[in-house]
Structure 1
Amino acid sequence: MSKRKLSRQQRWRIEKIQAERARRAEKRGDQDTEKLAAGEYGPEQQGRVTAHFGRTLEVAPAGGGEPVRCHLRANLEGLVTGDRVIWRAGQDGSGVVVARGGRDNVLERPDARGQLKPVAANIDQILVVFAVEPEPHANLIDRYLVAAEATGIAPVLVLNKVDLLPPEGGTLRGLLARYEALGYPVVTTTTARADGLDALHARLAGRTSVFVGQSGVGKSSLIDRLLPDAELRIGALSEDSRKGRHTTTTARLYRMPSGGELIDSPGIREFGLTHLDEGQVAEGFVEFRELLGRCRFRDCRHRQEPGCALIEAVDEGTIHADRFASYRRIVDSLDET
């Protein structure tokens, strides 16, 4: 069955009704004037989507308590994990979501057809997890950072399994120092030591965070340690390829004992950037920003053009050559698609 198209007036009316519901829920006490079923549902209250399963959601009450499986009202679509919602509890232990609250931001990524698909909403920081094994590549980290910069959500780099690093740190230490010099917070973690997650605990406290990264880097293992009561499946690392298998199937929000919230998103091997153009990719490299627009030619593509401000900065050493090469690889990959 094809989706019914709404007129402008119908969409305006739906948005108006949802806004009115949100205001009533904040006052805590007004009853829903449009009865869904007489006596079957309680008053409107605020909540947070903790998981999404098609036409049903898990909603955690704003005041605390266990998540409730809720259905969606007609014409209410596009909700994702992390959304603030207005819902009503049913007598049978279920509930119904009647309106969505405002969003601070939304994390989106392209699907197989290249169309943007929302993954989670109202996030304070994106934790880009990589590990000593499988060996991280700077270009993949840069892709995650560009994607994060495009959303406006602050990225944090998390190096897991640091117990596997050689005593001198190897090339990874130099790579981390490069990103720290650009202003990106870097957190190192390991589940092999009792104090291996202290820095991560401090970073998560009081914030809503989402983990992204390749399969096999230990996202689920970290969450299993951060939330001992959460039942998570941990995928084994393939001895042959040293790449992990996908284990998480839907984005889920967990409340941290420290007061923060953590969203675990499905494992992805590479964050697609096909929805971005060259200009947006360049903006995603933070050290490029003050130089953009200073090239001799207004249509400079930062390849071989004379007077290119970025190339001159690379020659002068103010932009790292590896970062510029990473930028070029990303742009070239856009051209190929």
Structure 2
Amino acid sequence: MAKRKINKQQQRRINAQHRQRSRRARDDDNLPDSDALGPEQIGLVIESFGRQVNIEAKDGEVTRCHLRANVENPVAGDRVIWQMGDNTGVIVAVEPRRSLLTRPDFNGQPKSIAANIDQMLIVVAAQPPAYANLIDRYLVAAEAHQLTAVIVRNKSDLPVDDDTLAMLNSYADNGYTVLTASSTDGKGLDALRAQLADATSIFVGQSGVGKSSLVNALLPEANTAVGELSHAADKGRHTTTTARLFHFPDGGDLIDSPGIREFGVQNLDRKSVEQGFREFQPFISQCRFRDCRHESEPDCGLQAALERGDISPVRLQSYRQIVAEIEGQHG
């Protein structure tokens, strides 16, 4: 049988996997034997740097740990089993996750961002401009992972254009929680703290919308880096390079994630994307065909709802754009 040909991208991925396995094996050879380590204990990943991880023990002490070769890279929010050595620890296992958020890497493959999250706070601002399709991607991902989704308009002390305001109002009309906040004058921070209490949350959004500034306002001791907005390109400079977990004094955790302009929806299917548009649900059930694509099929519940003005044409176009992307990748 003829040997299956692989393209250059697949070959690069295979070579990278080989290099990674070799590097892990070399790293494992340098780790102490289990007999030289302390007893196994549970820890919480605060920040991950590839094969090195900062974990927090039950007593609150933070320790830099290395990974055994057979352990997948944990991310902020993961619970792990680890053992203490002379100066550093060794992670021997990652506990099962209740949720895992990913984004595409340079090869379009999912890269883990954070784990065990309860709610996603989508931060937008007047600048850089807020785009409905990006917000919708976050909402779809939140629904797929069964996370509570909250939209936060940051920099509320700055004026916002009518189109952005109308867009945010439309999300509120569709049942999404929309909060306003400002790290400059402090308005809205109390309501934001109440939303964050007793849950593990993640801030997501474009670079430059002020996620790190919000973290600093909510947790002054965090001392996270705050970057200036690049006026030339109207895009923020990346100031957070790895997701990091912070504790609130009154309960609840926050994971500050790297600024990302894309979000990992590539592993979802059409039905999962549909579920991310909550206002579509009453009308999808009215479609004549169960596999309706909501394009030109007869007796489509969504098309009829669009014609009546019951759903937004912007949201329907956003849905179609996301579906076209994932089906193009899977095709």
- Structures share a fold, TM > 0.5? yes
Deviations 1:60-115 (A, max 9, x none): 112323x11011223111422111112222333x2122222232111122222222
Alpha carbons 1:282, 1:288 under 8 Å: kept: yes
- Return the match for 1:75 from 66, 70, 73: 70
Matched, 1:103 2:97: yes
Matched, 1:130 2:128: no
Matched, 1:152 2:146: yes
Q: Which residue of 2 aligns with 1:59?
A: 55
Q: Which residue of 1 aligns with 2:25?
A: none
Provide the rounded CA distance (Å) in 2 between the counterparts of 1:3 and 1:56.
14
Residues 1:132 and 1:72: Cα distance change in structure 2 (over 3 Å): same
Deviations 1:190-237 (A, max 9, x none): 012134422111111121111110111001111122222223221211
Alpha carbons 2:102, 2:263 under 8 Å: kept: no
- Residue type of the alignment partner of 1:89: M
Q: 1:293: Cα distance to partner?
A: 4.7
Q: TM-score, normalised by structure 1?
A: 0.82
Q: Which residue of 2 aligns with 1:282?
A: 274
Provide the rounded CA distance (Å) in 1 between the counterparts of 2:261 and 2:168.
21
Between the aligned residues of both structures, percent identity stands at 52
Provide the rounded CA distance (Å) in 2 between the counterparts of 1:173 and 1:62.
44
Alpha carbons 2:51, 2:73 under 8 Å: kept: no
Q: 1:170: Cα distance to partner?
A: 3.1
Secondary structure of 2:183 counterpart: coil
Counting matched residue pairs gives 303
Alpha carbons 1:114, 1:275 under 8 Å: kept: no
Residues 1:327 and 1:48: Cα distance change in structure 2 (over 3 Å): same
Structure 1 ranges of 4+ moved more than 6 A: none
Q: Which residue of 2 aligns with 1:50?
A: 46
Q: 1:143: Cα distance to partner?
A: 1.8
Deviations 1:265-294 (A, max 9, x none): 111122243333333222211122243353
Q: 1:173: Cα distance to partner?
A: 3.4
- Residue type of the alignment partner of 2:153: L
- Residue type of the alignment partner of 2:132: A
- Residue type of the alignment partner of 1:115: Q
Q: TM-score, normalised by structure 2?
A: 0.84
Moved more, 201-210 or 231-240: 231-240
- Residue type of the alignment partner of 1:185: T
Secondary structure of 1:162 counterpart: coil
Provide the rounded CA distance (Å) in 2 between the counterparts of 1:106 and 1:115.
15
Provide the rounded CA distance (Å) in 1 between the counterparts of 2:221 and 2:256.
15
Provide the rounded CA distance (Å) in 1 between the counterparts of 2:72 and 2:129.
39
Residues 1:101 and 1:294: Cα distance change in structure 2 (over 3 Å): same
RMSD of equivalent CA atoms: 2.4
- Return the match for 2:164 from 160, 172, 178: 172
Q: Which residue of 1 aligns with 2:301?
A: 309
Runs of 5+ unmatched residues, structure 2: 1-17, 22-32
Provide the rounded CA distance (Å) in 1 between the counterparts of 2:209 and 2:179.
14
Secondary structure of 1:241 counterpart: coil
Deviations 1:107-156 (A, max 9, x none): 12222222222211110111111102222122221122112222222211
Provide the rounded CA distance (Å) in 1 between the counterparts of 2:238 and 2:200.
23
Alpha carbons 1:110, 1:275 under 8 Å: kept: no
Q: Which residue of 2 aligns with 1:118?
A: 112
Provide the rounded CA distance (Å) in 2 between the counterparts of 1:91 and 1:334.
48
Q: 1:188: Cα distance to partner?
A: 0.9
